[in-house]
Structure 1
């Protein structure tokens, strides 16, 4: 990225931020994709490339407060945390039901364990 120059870097970060906002929008509809982490990545990209897009993201009624809480306190709302953890558990259960294979189910559990523990340990806000 050092060879891109400042203008290329800004364009790359804007594009990456827009890509992650798109993933977050898909995550709103699909319970398997997490919305909040994608928005946090987008906010970080926009903070370094586009103050206007960052402000638009932070001004969003639904997602703005989540991003503010994360940026200021490194915490997420209790309700969002519970929903995310429950969704992860239900996804693992659904995967086990659909896969009907102990090794593949174990792989799903191993892959979800890290993010689950990370989320479990995060402090809760409000």
Structure 2
């Protein structure tokens, strides 16, 4: 079972790394999942993620308070708006043109109801 947690953690690290390079693919959610999976099967990786100067505080804020920095909320909202706009500009099935913006609106509403960290996060 440990190897399944490690595969999940490694896959999420890889997707997070791609997200650093590829605009529109979020990095932090993948690192949150990687730390979660690492806690179950790869403690050394979890510790390394928690000690990371940029992502460590974000992971700890999420774990302790389910907190998301305001800057991340704005960035995610802007990317969701861009995605919804693109789905209207490109050929897409009608159900997707209606469903995706509604889904993203729900995600944005959920995201903006999350707490914000008490300390400043870059």
TM bin (shorter chain): 0.7 to 0.9
* Cα distance in 1, alignment partners of residues 43 and 93 from structure 2: 48
Bigger shift: 62-71 or 92-101?
92-101
In the other structure, the counterpart of 1:58 is: 50
Is 1:92 matched with 2:84?
yes
Q: Deviation at 1:29?
A: 2.4
Structure 1: distance between partners of 2:34 and 2:84:
27
CA displacement at 1:46 relative to structure 2: 0.4
Q: Structure 1: give runs of 5+ residues left out of the alignment.
A: 1-8
- TM-score w.r.t. structure 2 length? 0.84
5+ residue gaps, structure 2, are none
> Which stretch of the first structure deviates more once superposed, 14-23 or 87-96?
87-96
Q: What is the TM-score when the length of structure 1 is the normalising length?
A: 0.81
Q: How many residues end up aligned between the 2 structures? A: 118
* Structure (1 or 2) with the greater helix fraction: 1
SS of equivalent to 2:90: helix
Two-structure CA RMSD over aligned residues (Å): 1.8
| Contact 1:81-1:124 within 8 A present in 2 as well | no
Which is greater in Rg? Answer: 1
